[in-house]
Amino acid sequence: MKLQQEIDYGSLVKEDRVHISLYTDPAVFTDEMDKIFHRGWVYVGHQGEVPNPGDFRLKRIGLQPVIMVRDQSGTVRLLLNRCRHRGSTVCQEKQGNTRSFRCMYHGWTYQLNGDLTGVPGAEGYGDNLKREELGLVKVPRVAVYRGFIFGSLSPAGITIEEHLGRAAVELDLFVGLSKAEDVEVVSGIHRYHYQGNWKLAAENSMDGYHPMITHASFGQALMDKIQKSPVPEQQRADRDFTTFRGATKDLGNGHVMLDYKLRIYDALNGDPLPPVRAITPEGQAQMEDLSDRFGEQRAANMLREGGTHTFIFPNLILIGIQMRVLQPLSADRTEVCLYPTLLKWLAPEVNTIRLRSHEAFFGSASFGGPDDSEIFERVQDGCAVALEPWQLFSRGLHRERYEDGIIIGELDDEVTQRGIWRQWKKVMQQGTGAAQTSRRRPRSVVAGKRG
């Protein structure tokens, strides 16, 4: 008989391992939606996706449908996609430009800021129709950092600055210290699904242990090119990835990163890399700032291939020039959207090489993306094995070190995975959130303790 009870997350998440039920149990997924995706800060989109008044994109916060729209005043709004009359969604197109949102059930019409403006046969309501109270529901908390838009369905909680903490500087570097309006997110979306839990993609994105195995073909092609024409920082590169040195870092609050200096993403098409140059005075100043911080060569590489490799808990991954967004759909199904970015102040040929490098490793016919999706589904299948039901994350635990409050390990250690799960456990052990949307289901998993 299945008993309805609280899940003991303390027994399911250990320092060096986690129970496989956390990838498969629908009850855990329901709890995640409430405590992580509805109550906490979740990345929703970037202002560069909706540059003009009337531009909109459909998004989700957890499982709840959201419209991200720039209204006529230029303000970017997050509106819940549900008519206040009988509940139909008022926008079905994934993106576009519009002057209003109209429900196709009874014709209720809303302005871009969510205000209700049109009600067919309004006289039928007499004096009881209060339009000012029946606009589209706005996401209770919205915060913007360098154009990155975060939302929370809870009216109270920590600030976005507290949430980002030490990771904020990685958002700065991702956009090359650019202003929000200088970041373009209009080059298309690479969208795919896999049959597996959303946390598998989060773990994998910050995993420095698997590339030499899972992505061996890309590594060999890249090393062959490096051997023939290395740039200065690649002079000592060899053919087995051993000089891809760097570190894993736990920045706190579930934000983690791989910190490396050697260029990894490359178009591999034989084209010479164009010199990085700015086409505006402000852009030139930002280039000089990056060069002062990191040196001219590394700054140029950061602008061509991206300035960070960071996971922002719980759903934003910054790799190369892409913003990768995780959208959980169920315990065993996930949607992933990749948004390549351009910088308005970079020369056109530099933005072109940004896209070509992105496509080589992350496109639908690329070296990297399909490899990872296949692994996610194999891991999810493996979670059906009930004997010894634990995933190990112990690599490098014995050699972790602390610097200025940051946990640091070798590039192929599992510091990053432990950092993600540490925050996951902390949040999941908190009380029921203010934005809970469904009742708890019966639990069928009883966790055993490993000695």
Residue-by-residue pLDDT tens, the chain, 451 positions = 343 468 999 999 999 999 999 999 999 999 999 999 999 999 999 999 999 999 999 999 999 999 999 999 999 999 999 999 999 999 999 999 999 999 999 999 999 999 999 999 999 999 889 999 999 999 999 999 999 999 999 999 999 999 999 999 999 999 998 999 999 999 999 999 999 999 999 999 999 888 778 776 666 666 665 666 655 544 444 444 445 578 999 999 999 999 986 655 555 556 677 899 999 999 999 999 999 998 998 898 889 888 899 999 999 999 989 999 999 999 999 999 999 999 999 999 999 988 888 887 777 666 667 778 889 999 999 999 999 999 999 999 999 999 999 999 999 999 999 999 999 999 999 974 444 443 343 333 333 332 2
Q: Measured between alpha carbons, how far is residue 127 from residues 40, 115, 122, 123, 382 in Å? A: 39, 18, 9, 8, 61
Q: Which helix (H) or strand (E) holds 288?
A: helix 281-294
> Which residue stretches of 35-186 are H helix?
160-164, 168-174
What is the C-alpha separation between 222 and 219, in angstroms, rounded?
5
**Ramachandran angles phi, psi of 356, nearest 5°:** -65, -40
DSSP class of residue 395? T
326, 200 Cβ separation under 8 angstroms: no
Which pLDDT score is estimated for 450? 29
Q: For residue 381, give the H/E element and its range.
A: helix 369-382
Residues in contact with 131: Cβ distance below 8 Å, sequence separation at least 6, in sequence order: 115, 116, 117, 119
Nearest-10 crossing angle of helices 281-294, 296-305: 120
Alpha-carbon distance of 204 to 117, in angstroms, equals 46
Cα 95–Cα 369–Cα 419 angle in degrees, nearest 5: 95
Report yes or no: 25 and 33 within 8 Å, Cβ to Cβ: no
Instruction: Tokens for 121, please give them.
Output: 């046969």
Backbone φ, ψ for residue 337 (5° rounding): -120, 130
Q: Which residue do the tokens 């080589």 mark?
A: 360
Distances (CA, A) of 55 to 51, 58, 127, 374: 7, 11, 34, 35
| Alpha-carbon distances of 243 from 24, 205, 295, 395, rounded to whole Å | 37, 20, 20, 19
pLDDT at residue 314 in the model: 98
- At 189, phi and psi to the nearest 5? -125, 135
Give the CA dihedral 130, 136, 141, 146, nearest 10 degrees: -130
> Rounded to whole angstroms, how far apart are CA atoms 403 and 102?
54
446: which 2 tokens? 């009883």
8 A C-beta contact, residue 48 and residue 33:
no
CA 244 from chain center: how many Å? Answer: 24
CB 105 within 8 A of CB 116: no
**Residue 362 pLDDT:** 78
pLDDT value for 306? 85
- Number of neighbours of residue 15 by Cβ within 10 angstroms: 10
Please say whether the beta carbons of 255 and 310 come within 8 A: yes
Q: How far is CA 108 from CA 2, 111, 136, 138, 311, in A?
A: 44, 10, 11, 17, 40
- Residue 101 CA to residue 116 CA, distance in Å, equals 9
Distance CA 347, CA 10 (A): 52
Side-chain-facing half-sphere of 243: CA atoms under 13 Å: 14
Residues ≥6 apart with Cβ < 8 Å to 385:
20
Q: Are 80 and 89 in contact (CB under 8 A)?
A: no
The pLDDT assigned to 312 comes to 98
- Shortest CA distance to 263 belongs to which of 312, 228, 299? 299
- Ordered alpha helix ranges (H), 149-234: 160-164, 168-174, 198-205, 211-214, 216-228
**CA-to-CA distance for 445 and 450, rounded, in angstroms?**
15
